[in-house]
Structure 1
Amino acid sequence: MTNNLDGKVALVTGGTTGIGRETAIAFARAGAKVVVSGRGSERGQETVNLIQKEGGEATFVQTDISQATEVEALITQTVEIYGSLDCALNNAGVEGKLAPITELSEEDLNQVVDINLKGTWFCLKYEIMQMLKQGKGAIVNTSSGYGEVGGANLSPYCASKHGIMGLTKSLALEYAKQGIRINTIAPGPIDTGMPDRGTSSKEVLDNYISTFVPMGRMGTAPEVAEAVIWLCSDAASFVTGTSIAVDGGYLAQ
């Protein structure tokens, strides 16, 4: 079996930058037609242009995944444009404010949970509804190493990512006999700009990486994308309800 996705239709939320963008490109390279979704139309179109320059086929659909009606419309448009929905990466997410819980407001909590957890729930609901019509499909949710462990000053983010792990396991069980596989990726420190937020200098970041990441370096978005493509391919046909850590060994400690 290979990671060939010829003739498949793939959806990537949060496909405007970083892991989402690289995964959208990787889907296209594997032969899929790609719907790129996100809130930023300019950056989303940039992702589409990068795919098209390589000879791939892609479309951008602007979506706020915290709004159920917009997610439902996204899935409808995907099927209207390309005829099906075979693979999905639910990647859209925000880190939120870094602070102790005593300094966080309800608004701070809602901002993270509405996008990371509720938004992923909405995506799963409507993706699964379409895939049930087709009799099969593969979905990958983006969690985090912080979906497995805690992180100081990151309570809303950690809670939302732990929630994604729970959603993945529950729904994988619900649809295991109906041809739909649902898994999670858990990226560790990935060079997308997010991991260095809150660090005082490059020296501090480098020290953190050398101390806490066994491989001694940050990962890259294309490395995460490869895991997603494998999970969505027939090569992973007996894999569901699990999480793959792409973290240089961080969670093995």
Structure 2
Amino acid sequence: MTNNTIDIAPVGLLTGKVVFITGASRGIGAAAARLFASEGAAVVLAARSTDALEQIVTEIRAAGGVADAVTVDLADRASIRAAVDRVEQLHGRLDGAFNNGATIQQPGPLDTTSDEDIDQQFAVNFRAHWTAMTAEAALMRRNGGGAIVNTSSIGSRRANPALPAYGAMKRALNSITETAAVSWARDGIRVNGITPGGTATEMIDTWESATPGIIKRINASSPLGRMAEPREIAEVAAWLLSDRASMVTGASVPVDGGAGA
């Protein structure tokens, strides 16, 4: 059973940092919101579902943490920029960003993938990250730098016959993560990615409904014999956003239980 209890540490991994999290209403993003706050960050949570966000904000504040919510539509570039502007209004700076929003395509082979699926994958899993990163970096530069972490996927690192558009956009995300790391290093901005394998989220449940047996196959493909819990993915993102990862940039860190080895 997942433990959602929040304990705010007096001094944590992210103490003193303002961190923006997209896709924060559920799954990995929600786990990151709770974890980052428990590690001392002031978190600004973004997603389309404001009710879910407000519930998490209430939990964090009740535990003594600092949290705010902002509505964002990752398919809308203006909405993303407005969300980052809201971070500046609230805190005057941005130290870390976890770009975690994602959508999964309708599973199916390459030659039956619809134009609509391709467009959606481009808008949410690639262009949204590009837009968010550039807005986040602009705010970070005003205060000496920061750190950005993008959520990619194990499906970006190899052929992905079941989710071809999703895998393609996530592989493109890996490329701009590396390019941003090199381009913005002199600005004091580190940029890294994580490539989770199977993770016990609502997205996997949706995939299981469309393709029964996928959870069993994912578990069998992992040397650890199971999927990750969302918090286990968030732990790696927290480290990459922290000063303890000060020499790490341009990396795509596998968090897949050895499935990609």
- In the superposition, the TM-score normalised over structure 1's length comes to 0.94
Aligned to 1:116: 125
- Is it true that 1:78 corresponds to 2:87 in the alignment? yes
Report matched runs for 1:122-201 at 5 Å. Answer: 122-199=131-208
Contact residue 3 and residue 233 of structure 1 kept, 8 A: no
Distance 1:163 1:14, change over 3 A: same
Aligned to 1:101: 110
When structure 1 is superposed on structure 2, of 145-154 and 9-18 the one drifting more is 145-154
TM superposition shift of 1:99: 1.6
Which residue identity is paired with 1:16? S
Distance 1:249 1:133, change over 3 A: same
Instruction: Name the SS of the counterpart of 1:184 in structure 2.
Output: strand
Which residue identity is paired with 2:42? K
Deviations 1:166-187 (A, max 9, x none): 0100000001122000000111
TM superposition shift of 1:4: 2.3
Report matched runs for 1:27-46 at 5 Å. Answer: 27-46=36-55
- Is it true that 1:237 corresponds to 2:243 in the alignment? no
Deviations 1:136-175 (A, max 9, x none): 1000000000111122131110011101100100000001
Contact residue 113 and residue 165 of structure 2 kept, 8 A: no
Which residue identity is paired with 1:165? N
Which residue identity is paired with 1:227? V
Distance 1:69 1:205, change over 3 A: closer
Q: Output the CA distance in 2 between the equivalents of 1:118 and 1:206.
A: 29
Q: Output the CA distance in 2 between the equivalents of 1:200 and 1:88.
A: 32
Contact residue 12 and residue 88 of structure 1 kept, 8 A: yes
Return 5+ residue gaps in structure 1 as ranges. Answer: none
Q: Output the CA distance in 1 between the equivalents of 2:28 and 2:234.
A: 7
Distance 1:245 1:3, change over 3 A: farther
- Is it true that 1:14 corresponds to 2:23 in the alignment? yes
Aligned to 2:236: 227
Q: Output the CA distance in 2 between the equivalents of 1:190 and 1:50.
A: 23
Aligned match for 2:57, one of 40, 48, 56? 48
Regions of 4+ moved over 6 Å: 200-203
Which residue identity is paired with 2:19? A
TM superposition shift of 1:118: 0.3
Output the aligned Cα RMSD: 1.9
Aligned to 1:217: 226
Instruction: Name the SS of the counterpart of 2:19 in structure 1.
Output: strand
Contact residue 13 and residue 239 of structure 2 kept, 8 A: no
Contact residue 110 and residue 161 of structure 2 kept, 8 A: no
Distance 1:96 1:88, change over 3 A: same
Q: Output the CA distance in 1 between the equivalents of 2:45 and 2:253.
A: 23
- In the superposition, the TM-score normalised over structure 2's length comes to 0.91
